């Protein structure tokens, strides 16, 4: 009697400890590893009950409980093995997620096999009649649970055929999202708007399914834009292709392609075709590319027309007068800005005003490269609005930011005056408006005012020497004059004077 009580108390104590550990491990912020201990709790409770039935001379019940305990402990062992192999090793160590339905189905099959083996060796149960009875019971249950079983077998078919896996982007019947899980009943899908949808497996198996992540992660995307009939097709294709290639999420291979698709009522339609490796970011990528294309079109004078019909009464003379006033105002602003820049500060107001009439106004989006290191000679730029970063790379290493330029600052003067290649990359950090001074603009004013070369050259030699204070201190006056003469000769030769 006393021994029976001690055994029951020990098993009850074990059941209590296991139950407490299980509850603590599932609490929020718990540091205890979660373990599948439910079967072990049941096993301890059964073993605690056996001595009680034996003490009350209920041997047959005690024997049945002993068989049940054997089955349960084998189930507990299988569940713990699956935990270490699937949940711990494959998921946490290898990063491979086994769908819940696959794991559970395998466990159920093993549970049934274990139960039949134990019953065969420890009891005189007729397994044939048991299977017959089970088959009849299964038929009744199956008839009553047709939809549930349909979802179950559809889920199993999904696991066999693998039309999609966890993490894939799929689409069907107007729903597009990423697969988050596959259970006995349904597939969990997270849409791009962060909505979790539970779709019955039976519904998916009957639908036309698109998998955007198979056979590879590469996905082809499209952008269509209507452009004015006045724009040269080659110019449009070049602008769109450049904007697409500069985007970080667009793959280099296959190369982006721009096709003319239709002559519309108000515009010529162009379709851009490019590839990305993440379907989930496609919409954001398209938006950023469209933003970049707008700026490219604006700078290149390419118009995007829109179908509007209006009847306006316009005073042509007043309109022309207002346009003339706006142009003079803009030229006055440019002239004043040129007067603040040391290279052009020595020029007279009429000469600066004449130069202002030829300068183009360009716009760049944040993130765009205005000039690239090692590019051939080109225009110089004066920043009107916004901020730029100056980036330099040595021997193919990663670019390093060496300076920042803001309003009234400029870059590219040596390139436009001497034909030197670009020595740095200048990238727009915000939306930037700048004035572009071309070689032809300078040639026009220098041809009429040759003394301009000397004024500009003097400032350039000072700026160049100022980049190295130690060298400035050791330079002799004659050497400085010699360098100035060489620089002036180079400027005149490059500009054709």
Condensed to tens digits (0 to 9), the pLDDT of residues 386-428 reads 999 999 998 878 889 999 999 888 898 888 888 889 989 999 9
Complete domains list, the chain, with CATH? 2-144 (no CATH), 163-211 (2.30.30.60), 219-300 (3.30.70.100), 326-495 (2.60.120.10)
Within 10 A of 469 (CB to CB), how many other CB atoms are there?
8
Q: How far apart are CA 105 and CA 156, in angstroms?
A: 9
Please give the pLDDT value at position 472. 41
Please give the pLDDT value at position 41. 81
How far, CA to CA in Å, does 305 sit from each of 267, 299, 323, 364?
6, 16, 22, 21
Q: How far apart are CA 307 and CA 316, in angstroms?
A: 23
The stretches in the chain having pLDDT less than 70 are: 1-4, 26-29, 54-59, 94-95, 97-102, 124-161, 308-314, 462-485, 487, 497
Within 10 A of 415 (CB to CB), how many other CB atoms are there?
22
Token digits of residue 180: 């988050």
Q: What pTM was computed for the model?
A: 0.56
Please give the pLDDT value at position 60. 72
222, β-bridge pairs: 273
Please give the pLDDT value at position 19. 80
Q: How far apart are CA 180 and CA 168, in angstroms?
A: 8
Q: pLDDT, tens digit, for every residue of 21-52?
A: 777 776 666 777 777 778 888 888 888 887 77
Q: Which long-range contacts (CB under 8 A, 24 or more apart) does 35-40 make?
A: 35/80, 35/83, 36/76, 36/79, 36/80, 36/82, 36/83, 37/76, 39/72, 39/73, 39/75, 39/76, 39/79, 40/73, 40/76
Q: How far apart are CA 8 and CA 69, in angstroms?
A: 14
CA–centroid distance for 294 within its chain:
21
Token digits of residue 331: 């030229």
405, β-bridge pairs: 388
353 phi/psi in degrees, rounded to 5: -65, -40
Please give the pLDDT value at position 14. 84
Residue with tokens 């899980």: 181
* Cβ–Cβ < 8 Å for 425, 368: no
What's the maximum distance between 2 C-alpha atoms anywhere in the chain? 125
Within 10 A of 137 (CB to CB), how many other CB atoms are there?
10
């Amino acid at each position: 009697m006393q021994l029976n009580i001690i055994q029951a108390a020990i098993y009850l104590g074990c059941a209590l400890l296991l139950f407490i550990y299980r509850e603590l491990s599932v609490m929020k912020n718990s540091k205890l590893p979660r373990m599948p201990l439910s079967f072990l709790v049941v096993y301890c409770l059964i073993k605690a009950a056996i001595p009680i039935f034996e003490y009350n001379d209920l041997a047959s019940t005690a024997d049945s409980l002993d068989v049940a305990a054997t089955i349960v402990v084998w189930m507990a062992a299988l569940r713990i093995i699956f935990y270490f192999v699937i949940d711990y090793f494959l998921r946490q160590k290898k990063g491979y997620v086994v769908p819940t339905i696959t794991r559970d189905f395998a466990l159920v099959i093993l549970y049934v096999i274990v139960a039949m083996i134990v019953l065969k060796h420890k009891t005189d149960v007729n397994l044939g009649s048991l299977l017959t009875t089970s088959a009849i019971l299964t038929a009744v249950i199956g008839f009553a649970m047709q939809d549930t079983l349909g979802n179950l077998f559809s889920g199993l078919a999904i696991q066999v055929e693998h039309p999609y896996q966890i993490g894939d982007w799929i689409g069907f019947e107007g729903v597009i999202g990423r697969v988050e899980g596959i259970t006995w009943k349904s597939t969990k899908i997270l849409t791009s708007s962060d909505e979790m949808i539970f779709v019955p497996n039976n519904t998916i198996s009957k639908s036309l399914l698109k998998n955007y992540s198979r056979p590879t992660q590469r996905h082809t995307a499209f952008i269509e834009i209507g452009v004015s009939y006045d724009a040269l097709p080659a110019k449009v294709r070049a602008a769109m292709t450049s904007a697409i290639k500069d985007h970080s999420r667009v793959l280099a291979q296959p190369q982006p392609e721009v096709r003319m698709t239709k002559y519309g009522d108000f515009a010529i339609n162009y379709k851009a075709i490019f590839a990305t490796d993440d379907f989930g970011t496609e919409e954001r990528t398209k938006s950023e590319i469209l933003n970049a294309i707008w700026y490219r079109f604006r700078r290149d004078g390419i118009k995007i027309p829109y179908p509007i019909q209006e009847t306006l009464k316009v005073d042509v003379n007043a309109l022309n007068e207002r346009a003339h006033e706006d142009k003079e105002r803009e030229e006055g602003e440019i002239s004043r800005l040129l007067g603040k820049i040391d290279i052009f500060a020595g020029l007279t107001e009429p000469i600066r005003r004449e130069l202002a009439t030829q300068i183009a106004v360009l716009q760049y989006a944040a993130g765009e490269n205005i000039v690239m290191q090692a590019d051939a000679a080109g225009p110089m730029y004066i920043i009107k609005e916004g901020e730029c970063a100056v980036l330099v790379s040595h021997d193919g290493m990663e670019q390093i930011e060496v300076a920042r330029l803001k309003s009234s600052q400029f870059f590219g003067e040596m390139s436009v005056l001497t034909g030197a290649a670009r020595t740095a990359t200048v990238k727009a950090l915000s939306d930037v408006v700048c004035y572009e001074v071309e070689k032809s603009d300078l040639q026009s004013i220098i041809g009429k005012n040759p003394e301009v070369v000397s004024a500009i050259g003097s400032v350039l030699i000072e700026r160049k020497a100022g980049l190295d204070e130690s060298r400035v201190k050791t330079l002799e006056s004659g050497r400085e004059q010699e360098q100035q003469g060489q620089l002036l000769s180079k400027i005149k030769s490059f500009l054709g004077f």
